[in-house]
Amino acid sequence: MGSIGRRKRAGGFVWDARWRDPDGRQRKKAFARRIDAERFLTTISADVLRGDYVDPNDPTTVREYAEAWREAQVHRPTTRAHVETNLRRHVYPYFGDRRLSSVRPGEIQAWISRLTRQLSPATVQVIHGILAAIYKAAIRDRLVNSSPCQGTKLPKRLPVEVTPPTTTIVHALTDAVPERYRALIVLAAGTGMRQGECFGLDTDHIDLDNHSLRVEQQLVLLPYRDPFLGPPKTPASHRTIPLPDVVVEAMARHLERFPVQRPDRLIFTDDDGNALRRTRFSREVWQPAVAAAGARRATGFHDLRHYYASLLIRHGESVKTVQRRLGHATAAETLDTYAHLWPDSDERTREAIDAVLRAPRHERPSTQAAPPSRPGSAQDSPTR
């Protein structure tokens, strides 16, 4: 499958391992010792026979392959922008110009350690996941044999319990924003819609007469682009939400006071009639309202979604109902976020056990199925 030859070079001799790749091209790699060349050639020959051959001299860099991989992905616009930003800011400065096959696991671990000192554990996990996905694709494309991301020790994400704002704070926020945005606050608190879903709501998807709303789009904001309408965050985000009277009344007042004028029929716009931009809305409307309402400084628009979920839970809605209303993909996602808000059942647990174990023996309810009847017994006799 190959051969080894010696040739003279400045300072001594080198040993060339020569082989043919699966395409029939002659390849070679130089070694300072014959034993290293032999071991390498044995490995290469076995890889060719198994169909696992990877060109050890492939010059493809991390940046070149990552950009090709990124362009080939079927990502939502926001995800595409998110991946591009993380690669540009956190991956390329360290590994962008390195050959794919030259990056070692130890270097990945050192890189993760540096990122952990600058970023949150959740962000570090996301960045590592992007690079790991790139190397996984490179293995399928026969550019590397293994991934240096395999086995990396990542920082642990500390559990953070959601703390929804109080009803008093929600009312205060509603009063603190300009009149143009008061129905927006009521809508978010009364439906649990995400910010982009609220900003992208048009008159075609809300039915005030039947007290219902359909989430089928969101307003997407990307760098260097005007806001545009796109699909919701996930397939599960497509949903119908029942509207309570308080939301219907607020929306009716808003539409009467601020009639829809845009061609896309967006309900919420700025003073100039333009689609809302998150950064500007946060700076000019939301943050001043948070301060005026006396809310926690870190209170975000997303906390209105948490408030809605907390109300459903407090009034006895099931996990599946809360999941559907919020547009979560699974009930597990809902529980991971809101399990601590469900009523504590410790006392009911104690009462249930005490009712059985502390009762007199003849009063204890049976917890076992009745034993099967014996063949030929009266229970098995045919009815006469």
Which residue, among 340, 282, 312, 313, has the nearest Cα to 190 in the 3D structure?
312
Sign, CA dihedral 240-242-248-254, equals negative
Q: Is it the case that residue 78 has pLDDT exceeding 90?
A: no
Question: Which range is least confidently modeled, 14-23, 108-117, 193-202, 206-215?
Answer: 14-23
| Model pLDDT for residues 311-324, shown as the tens digit of each residue | 999 998 999 999 99
Q: Could you tell me which of 54, 239, 266 has the C-alpha nearest to residue 143?
A: 54
Tell whether the model's pLDDT for residue 203 goes beyond 70.
yes
Sheet of 2-9, strands arranged across: 2-9, 12-20, 26-31
Query: Quick one: what percent of the chain has pLDDT higher than 90?
Result: 64
Report whether pLDDT(272) > 80: yes
Residue for token digits 């509603």? Answer: 174
pLDDT digits (tens, 9 = 90+) for 104-130: 999 999 999 999 999 999 999 999 999
DSSP 240: E
Q: Which residue has the higher pLDDT, 279 or 368?
A: 279
pLDDT at 383: 41
Beta strand pairing status for 2-9 and 239-242?
Answer: unpaired
Closest to 202 (Cα-Cα) out of 252, 257, 267, 158: 267
56 is written with which tokens? 């050890």
Q: How many CA atoms lie within 13 A of 95 on its CB side?
A: 30
Confidence tier at 350 by pLDDT (50, 70, 90): confident
- Which residue is it, tokens 């907390």? 310
pLDDT at 255: 97
pLDDT greater than 80 at residue 257: yes
Do residues 193 and 187 touch, judged by C-beta distance below 8 A? Answer: yes
What confidence category does residue 380 fall into, taking pLDDT thresholds of 50, 70 and 90? very low
* Residue 92 predicted with pLDDT over 90: yes
Burial profile 136-162: b = 16 or more Cβ within 10 angstroms, e = fewer: ebbeeeebbeebbbeebeebeeeeeeb
pTM: 0.73
Tell me what the mean pLDDT of segment 184-190 comes to. 97
Using DSSP, state whether 213 is helix, strand or coil. strand
Predicted confidence at residue 368, as pLDDT, reads 53
Least confident of 71-85, 113-127, 186-200, 346-360: 346-360
Residue with tokens 């716009």: 269
pLDDT: which is higher, 24 or 193: 193
Whether residue 372 has pLDDT greater than 70:
no
Mean pLDDT of 93-102: 94
pLDDT, position 292:
97
Q: Write down the pLDDT at residue 22.
A: 75
What is the spatial distance between Cα 91 and Cα 127, in angstroms, rounded to a whole number? 8
Structure confidence at residue 377 (pLDDT): 45
Q: What per-residue confidence (pLDDT) applies to 1?
A: 61
Per-residue pLDDT at 365 exceeds 70: no
Average pLDDT over residues 285-311: 96
For the cut 50, the answer to whether the pLDDT of residue 381 exceeds it is: no
Q: What is the mean pLDDT of the chain?
A: 88
In the chain, the percentage of residues whose pLDDT exceeds 70 is: 92
Alpha carbon distance 141, 160 (integer Å): 39
Min mean pLDDT across 76-80, 331-335, 365-369, 377-381 is at 377-381
CA distance linking residue 153 with residue 140, whole number of Å: 24
Q: Is the pLDDT of residue 268 over 70?
A: yes
